[in-house]
Structure formats: C-alpha cells, structure tokens
Structure 1
Amino acid sequence: MTIKARWRRWAREDAQVSEAALRRNLHALAVAAWVVVALNALHVVVFGTLHFDDAVRSTWAQRVAGAHAAMAVVMLVTGWLARRLQARGALPAAAAWLPLGVSALVLGWAIALTAFDQAIGGSLSAYVNAAIAVPVVLLLRPRVMVTLMALAWGALAVVLRWVIEDAALLTTHRMNAASTSVLAALVGVLFWRHFVRTERLQRALADSNQQLQAQHHELQALATRDPLTGLLNRRAFEHEAQQVLARARRQRHPLALLMLDVDHFKAINDRHGHPAGDAALRQVAACMAEAIRQTDPLARLGGEEFVLLLPDTGADQAWHLAEKLRHTLEQTPLPAIGAPLTVSIGLVTVAADATPTLEGLLQQADQALYAAKRQGRNRTVTWDAEQAARGASTASG
C-alpha cells in the first residue's frame, strides 16, 4: 500500500470514530478537570503565600499564582460543560471544538508560565508538562495534533526570544522545546491510532455478536416455528403444552383444547393452486392468533390442521371462542379464491380436578374433529366420553 493510499484509508477510519473519540474526550475532560483544579488550587496556595525581598521573585510568584487561579476557573467551566455535553444524546457540532480549544488553551497557558519562569531560572517544565499531558489526556486526530504542537512550539520560540537575551540559552531552550513538541505529537498520533484500531475492532466484534444472535434467533425460529404460518410447530407445541398441563394439575384449573381443520382444503389446492392454499393457511393462522391470549399455545400440526390449548378456560368460554373463530373465517372472503373459508373444529374441555395427558387430549380432539367432518363440516363438536364409548362399541360389533 502506498503512503497516499494509507493516508486516505486512515482518513476514512478517523472519520468513522470521530464521534466515539469526542465522547471519550468529554469523559476525560469531565474527570481530568477536577484533578487539574486541585493542582491549580495547591499552586495558588503555595505561590500565593511566598514572600521574597527581591521584587523580581515576588512578581514571579504573584504571576504564577494568578495564572493557576485563572486556569482553575477555566477548568471548572470545562468540567461543567463536559458533563453537560455527556448527558446529551446527540452532540452539537460545536462540541467537537471543545477538546481542541482546551488543548490550545492549556498549551498557551503553559507558554505563559514558561515565560514567567525565565525570570528566576529558565525552566521549561511548565511547557514540557503541558505538551505531554495534552496527548495523554485528549485524543486529537494526527494532523490536528501535529499542527497544534508545531504552532505551540512556534509561539514558545517567539515568546522565549522576548524574555531571553542569551543566544546560547535561547537556542538550547528552543531545541529542547522542539524535541518535546515532536515527542508529544508522536505520542498523540500513536494514542490516536491505537484508539482507532481498538474502536474498529470493538465495533467489528459487536457486529459479529449481533449477527450471531440474529442467526441464533433464526435457527431457534426454524426449530420451533412453522415456516409458512409462523405458528409453533408440533414439537414446540408439545413442549409448551406439557408445561401448561403440569401447571393446570398443580393449580387445579380447567382448560380446553381445540383442533381445527380447513374444510375442502384439497379442493382449494386443486382449483386455485398451492399459493391459494398457502394463503388460506396463513389467513386461518392470523385469525386464530388475533383471537387468543399470548399465553395460549397455538400450532400448526401439519397440512391444514391447527391446534390450540386454552389454559384457565371453562367449557362455555372455549365453545364461545371456537364458534367465534369459525364464524369469523366463514365471513371473511379469501382474495386468492374469492370466497370465505369454512372450518371444522373438535373441542375437548377438562374440569379443574381432572388429570389428562396431552396424548389423550389430542386423540379426543381428533375424534371430535372427525365427528364434525362426518356431521357435514363447518361446525364445532365437543368430545363426549359416552358418545365415544358408544361409537367404539358399535364399531366393534
């Protein structure tokens, strides 16, 4: 990869993480501001109480104390503003200038302190501390960091010329400041690139986790849902139904189970095609799903048969629901065939003190459904134990 292509790639990556970097900078400012305020207050106390017989040193101490007092006020405002911005969901465009503005202000303040220090000893510690602190605390894009450090060094070089008359000392300070500025810019660039790589890696990991979760949900749906209607499949229905039955036994609550079959479904497929048959099944599923509670297990058993388990439901309520479903479908034309559907329903109701099995309920509902078909379709038939016994006796005779 050429240098030009690499710079273009870095520019794209920088733009992608700019908001994350800004939020990280706001957090850093909100925390660092109070630390800086504490240090400023300490300097104000120490230098504000110094007394010298020498007027030059006294003036120097007063200037240092005043500079730290001013910076304490600035950092108090910065910390408050950073916290206010952190609490906002969408950051205003002007917020991006806060880290750069604070960085420039800190470096300018350090240049002033360095100029004050030349009156007593010629130290560069104020500028060195600030130049290193800025890239350590704040993330600035590489070109911004390099430009900022270059301007800071240029400003310091000019200021030093005003306060230092010794050419050798001036050259030494300028070169030392240049080295500090270059190292600070390098630290800033390295920290920024590390942040960019880490942020992009975290995003890629988050996207991968999201895709895995989506695939997991998709696989779970494939394992438990009927792909045509979106209802539970037989296996998932049996699992949920066993839990409902166990709860009904413990709490001694009534329940009901109904089995629904679309009348003349084969004729729909033969006359109008399988897409019309699929549309009919989806309409039945939608009608049933709208009429029940979310806690009622509803499934497509296969073909044109559906099953619904109704916990905490008495015989009258179950009959009313079955008839409501039947009438709703009978009165709702299916666009694919230009006519409404009719269905036959087999209903089984269970008293509160009974202990049925799921296999038994399904068998009884199937017998009631068969009776509804035999009696002319488009009706609801409730399973009756005595009638079933008479039918079995007649069949055996």
Structure 2
Amino acid sequence: MRAWRINWQKIAEKNRSFAPQLLEQNIRRLRLAAPWIPPINLLHIWLFWQQQPESANEALWRQGILATHTGMLVFFSALALTAWYLERRPEQVRLREISVSVAALGALCFAALISAIDQLITSNITPLLIGCTLVALVFLHRPLSALWLFSLTLALFLFGIQQTQSAPAVLLSNQVNGLSSCCIGLLLAWLQWRYFIRINTQEQRLQAQAQLLEEQNHKLSYLAEHDPLSGLLNRRAFSSIVEHELIRSQRTQQPLCLLLLDLDHFKTINDRFGHPLGDAVIKRVAALLSSQVRSLDSLARLGGEEFMLLLPDSNREQGQQVAEKLRQLLQSQLQEVDGVAVTVTVSIGMSYLDAGQSSTYDSLYVASDRALYNAKHAGRNCVKVAVAN
C-alpha cells in the first residue's frame, strides 16, 4: 500500500519550483491574447447593435449582450496594456500574478454571464464551453488553482441560468452541460500543466547535464595542461608557452631566461619518510615557487622533482637574482614539512637569451640541463648558468 501513496508535499514543492517559469509564460500569453479580444467585442457590439428586438425578452437579451461585450472591451483593453507594461518589468511579481488571475477569472465570468443571458432566447451555452476551453489552453494553471477557478465559474453559471432559464428540462440539461464544460476546461488545464511540468523538467535535466559536461570539459582541459599533484603547468603546456614567448622575444627584441630546478637528494626523502611526505614536499615547493613568480612568468613541473621556470623580459643578471632568491627561499622554508624535520635544497641550471638573440626551446632546455648538471657536480644547492647555442 505504501508504494501507491502520493507524496503531495513533494508534488507541491515541485509545482512551486516552476512558479517563475509559469508566471513568465502566462504574462507572455496574456500579452499575445488580450489584444485580440477587443476587436472581437467591437464586432459583436456592431452586429448586435444592428439587431432590432421583436419582443421584450429579445430587447433584454440584446441589452445584456451589448453591456457584457462593452465591459469585455474595456476589461481586455486594460489587460492588454497591463500585460504590455508588465512584460518589461519582471520584478513586479505580485502585480503579474494578480493580472493573470484576473484575466483568467474575468474571461470565465464573461463566458458564464453571456451563456446565462443567452438563456433569455435560446438554450445555447456555447460561450461557456468556448471560454472554458480557451482559458484552459491559453493560460497555465496549477491543478489546485484550476479546480477553484472552474468551480467558481460553474457556481456563477448555475446561479445565472437559474435567473434566466424558466424551462425545467432545459435548465437541467444546461446545468449538466455547464458542468461538462467546466470539467473539460479543468481536464485541459490539467493536461496543459502536465505537459508544462514535463517540458520544464526535461529542460532542467538538460541544463544540468550541459553544466556537468561543461564542468567535466573544463576539468579535462585543466588536467590536460596541469600537473595533478602540484597544480602547476605540465611539460606539454609549458612547451607551448615557451615556443610562444620565444617568438614574442624575437619580435620585441627582449631578453629571456629559462631556469631548470631539481630538488637535491629527493629520492632519499621518499625512501626514508615515504612517498606521502615526498608528495607533500612537492606541493610545498610548488606553493613557494608560485608565491615568488610574476604574472608574466610561467612555472611548470616537468615530473618527479624537476621544475622549470620561464622568465620573459629578463636578462642574465635578473635571471640569476631570481634563481638565487628561489634557492635561498627553499633552503630556509623547507626545514620541516608536515611536522617532519627534513632538509630540502635545490640545484638550479639557467640558460638565457640576450636581447635580439634567437634560439629554440630545445637549445634552451639543453643549455639549462647542462647548467643543472654543473650545479649538481659543484656540490648541489647552487645556481649555474649556461649559454644557449
């Protein structure tokens, strides 16, 4: 039995979640539909004005129809202007809701009134059926609102025809037909609401999937260019940046330096303290290096304990100053990592291009690697420089 229970609270929450879309749709539909009603009212007024009554009942019927269509003309003209005004003012939420409710209720009341007036000379209740159908199709109604709306319309219609229809059989027939018309309107409104909910649910699902796909693509793009452990650029992305900076350096006749950094005895840290601490050292080194570079510099982790730094618009002296500053920083700041006493130093090999000098990334890398080799053989924890070929 529990499987068949309806979670009304969940349904109500879902319905409320679509309230903004519902209101926007109804205002747009009201703006499109309301201007069509006054010309139809004018046509009815002109046609009935030409009609000459032949009896007292016809005269009363004619007066009622003319008065009703005149009221509709004024009512829907005002609604058309209101809808045009409100469509450009989404912040007027309460006024928008009132306008839509007044439009739907007013249209049904006029339909019920015309059908009741028609009973003076005919048993026809077509206006009520048309009104219920149009209101159900033009506007979107929440199920409970639709129930109250069409129930009120039915009550008004039943009261009205009792005042104008004297034949018991016709009165009973029209009461049943009026009930059927309101039920048809309620059913159409419910189907419209179901379709609206289904479409908007699908749109929300598609938007969520599109957002997830965009986030995944962004994540994949990030992972394709960054080292997952340190968060720095990886070798492929760094190579592309260096190639671009070399072209810019040649065009602007600016110097350039390339630093290759290698942590000393890093394998010993992994062997002695384990790889988790080694990873923590890598992250700490990456954070320290990142805190010292300029926005135009590019910093990458090549893999293992090797890092590379590109310094555009920097000559040899400036590059050496930066390299020495980074060496001293790591030596002073990496005496302890995660509560473990360690001693981490770095050897740095630097290559450079003077202003106007041209070279390739491979040549710069080879020169930096040669300088790093010299730094290692010079006792480590030092900076060495080599000229690119």
* Aligned twin of 1:64: 69
Question: Over residues 254-279 of structure 1, what are the superposed CA-to-partner deviations in whole Å (9 max), with x where a residue is unaligned?
Answer: 32211112233234334443332222
2:23 to 22, 25, 45: 25
Size of the aligned set, in residue pairs, is 380
Equivalent-residue separation in structure 2 for 1:348 and 1:87 (angstroms): 62
Distance verdict in 2 for CA 1:237–1:355, change over 3 Å: same
Equivalent residue, structure 2, for 1:395: none
Q: TM-score under structure 2 normalisation? A: 0.83
Q: Deviations over 1:282-312 (max 9, x none)?
A: 1111122233345533211122110112333
For 1:64, the aligned partner's letter is: H
Call closer, same or farther: CA 1:112–1:366 in 2, change over 3 Å. same
Q: Percent identity?
A: 31
Partner of 2:259: 258
Where does structure 1 lack aligned partners over 5 or more consecutive residues?
389-397
Normalised by the size of structure 1, how large is the TM-score? Answer: 0.81
Asked whether the 8 Å contact 1:348–1:365 carries over to 2, the reply is yes
Alignment match, 2:56: none
- Identify the residue that residue 173 of structure 1 maps to in structure 2: 174
Shifted more, 322-331 versus 255-264: the winner is: 322-331
For 1:240 and 1:63, the matched residues in 2 are separated by 77
Specify the alignment match of 1:218 in structure 2. Answer: 219
How far is 1:156 from its partner?
0.9
- 1:199 aligns with 200
Q: Call closer, same or farther: CA 1:340–1:121 in 2, change over 3 Å.
A: farther
Q: CA deviation at 1:361?
A: 1.0
Q: Distance in 2 between matches of 1:3 and 1:112?
A: 45
Structure 2, unmatched stretches of 5+, are 54-58
User: Matches of 2:35 and 2:316 in 1, distance apart?
Assistant: 76
1:367 partner letter: R
Kindly state the Cα deviation for residue 185 of structure 1 after the two structures are TM-superposed: 1.6
Task: Please give the alpha-carbon distance, in whole angstroms, between the structure 1 residues aligned to 2:342 and 2:136.
Answer: 74
- What's the offset of the Cα at 1:362? 1.0
Q: Per-residue displacement from partner, 1:10-60 (whole Å, max 9, x unpaired)?
A: 863563253335423333324423531452265258627936665533454
* Distance of 2:85 and 2:3 partners within structure 1: 42
Equivalent runs, 1:310-349 vs 2, <5 Å: 310-333=311-334, 334-336=336-338, 337-338=340-341, 341-349=344-352
Q: Which residue in the other structure is 1:186 paired with?
A: 187
Structure 1 segment 268-279 matched on structure 2, within 5 A: 268-279=269-280
Contact 2:15–2:142 (CA under 8 A) maintained in structure 1: no
Distance 1:163 1:264 in 2: 104
Give the match for residue 104 of structure 1: 105
Moved more, 19-28 or 161-170: 19-28
Q: In 1, distance between residues paired with 2:375 and 2:123?
A: 105
Q: Is the contact made by 2:141 and 2:193 (CA closer than 8 Å) also made in structure 1? A: yes
Match of 2:371 among 360, 368, 372: 368
Instruction: Describe the SS at the equivalent of 1:227.
Output: coil
- Quote how far apart the aligned CAs of 1:161 are: 0.8
